[in-house]
Amino acid sequence: RQNEGKFKQFITQLSIIEKISLVIVFLFLFLMMFGPNIAPFDPEKPNTEISLQAPDRIHWLGTDENGMDIFSRVIAAPRVDIFVGLVSALLSVAVGIPLGIIAGIFEGARNRTASLVSGGILRLLDVLQAFPVFILAMVLVAIRGRSVGNIITAIAFVNTPVFLRLARTEVLTLRERTYAEAARSIGNTDLSLAFKHLLPNALPPLLSQISVTVGFAILLTAGLSFVGAGIAPPTPELGGMIAGGARNMVLGYWWPALFPGVTLGVIVFCFSNAGDALSRLLDPVRN
């Protein structure tokens, strides 16, 4: 009952935009799992006899230049886009947070080895941040290939500094708190202090960042496909659909690019708002 009351309190604190965003996020997560199975047409089967057909009662969002149903492709695309976003974000978390915690707890340490470890991680962070994220991701995909696994790895790699930097900042703040000093006084090592006592208190901002990073990763996935470095067609993917539709917009065929573009914008916007809602739920000050 207590948890139910907290959940109701959390829901009442959300704005109408955040509530709608959460519902839409769950809808797209559902489509990620079942979208291709409920699509009215095969999202990868071309039919040149009905290419670039305007929206009608049969093809609600029209067809693309290959005659594939756009509605079917839009609801099938989250299986790739959101899957890549989720997995790459989780990989970024798995690598970035431990590195950030180690860099933060060892920063300024008297032990030479610990200081070198912290300094090395910070230099790595500086190097990664020196390159534009999109260019770095595109280069990594070009080197390794356009498979889903390679794209996930590339996006996870370029997003890792976000969690590394955030975790380091949180640890630098929390390690000066009274409870941290008390933990040191009873014999906790720096690493024990960091992972047993500081990490749990640093989780709220880190977890809320995941949702935002998923949205950014989805946008990055679409961007790679748009420039021809992402998921290869005919696999339904929003960036590739936008790129294919953009070629025909000058000829007056607006629907192949518009509907995937709107869908991409809605996904990124809703995941960002879901991150704000999650931050409010996990904020210990508000709770």
Average pLDDT (166-173) is 93
Q: In this structure, is residue 62 part of a structural domain? A: no
Q: Which CATH number fits the domain that encloses residue 260? A: 1.10.3720.10
For the stretch 82-112, pLDDT in tens is: 999 999 999 999 999 999 999 999 988 778 8
What residue type is assigned to position 270 of the chain? C
Average pLDDT (180-207) is 87
Average pLDDT (270-279) is 83
Max Cα distance, the chain (Å): 77
What's the sign of the alpha-carbon dihedral 63, 64, 70, 72? positive
Does residue 19 surpass a pLDDT of 60?
yes
Range of the domain at 120: 27-37+71-282
Count other Cβ atoms within 10 Å, centred on residue 156: 23
Q: In this structure, is residue 20 part of a structural domain? A: no
Q: In this structure, is residue 209 part of a structural domain? A: yes
Does residue 30 surpass a pLDDT of 90?
yes
Report the pLDDT value the prediction gives residue 109, as an integer from 0 to 100.
Answer: 78
Report the pLDDT value the prediction gives residue 111, as an integer from 0 to 100.
Answer: 82
Average pLDDT (34-49) is 94
Q: Which residue has the tokens 């508000």?
A: 286
What is the total residue count of the chain? 287
Average pLDDT (175-189) is 86
Does residue 283 surpass a pLDDT of 80?
no
Which range among 186-190, 211-215, 230-234, 256-260 has the greatest average pLDDT? 256-260
Report the pLDDT value the prediction gives residue 235, as an integer from 0 to 100.
Answer: 93
For residues 75-103, one letter each, b for 16 or more C-beta atoms within 10 angstroms of the residue's C-beta and e for the rest, the string is: bbbbbbbbbbbbbbbebbbebbbbbbbbb
Token output for 163: 């969690």
Residues 178, 261: contact at Cβ < 8 Å? no
Report the pLDDT value the prediction gives residue 1, as an integer from 0 to 100.
Answer: 57
Residues 263, 24: contact at Cβ < 8 Å? no
Report the pLDDT value the prediction gives residue 218, as an integer from 0 to 100.
Answer: 95
Cα–Cα dist 12/277, whole Å: 11
Count other Cβ atoms within 10 Å, centred on residue 220: 25
For the stretch 197-226, pLDDT in tens is: 898 888 888 888 888 899 999 999 999 999
Report the pLDDT value the prediction gives residue 15, as an integer from 0 to 100.
Answer: 83
pTM for this prediction: 0.89
Percentage above 90 pLDDT, the chain: 62
CA dihedral 20, 24, 25, 26 (to 10 degrees): 110
Cα distances (angstroms) measured from residue 167 to each of 92, 99, 195: 12, 8, 11
Q: In this structure, is residue 157 part of a structural domain? A: yes
Report the pLDDT value the prediction gives residue 282, as an integer from 0 to 100.
Answer: 66
Report the pLDDT value the prediction gives residue 4, as an integer from 0 to 100.
Answer: 63
The answer for residues whose C-beta is within 8 angstroms of residue 97's C-beta and 6 or more apart is 163, 164, 167, 199, 206
Q: What angle do CA 238, 241, 246 make, to 5 degrees?
A: 125
Q: In this structure, is residue 215 part of a structural domain? A: yes
Does residue 3 surpass a pLDDT of 70?
no
The total number of structural domains in the chain stands at 1
Q: In this structure, is residue 267 part of a structural domain? A: yes
Report the pLDDT value the prediction gives residue 113, as an integer from 0 to 100.
Answer: 86
Q: In this structure, is residue 264 part of a structural domain? A: yes
Q: In this structure, is residue 189 part of a structural domain? A: yes
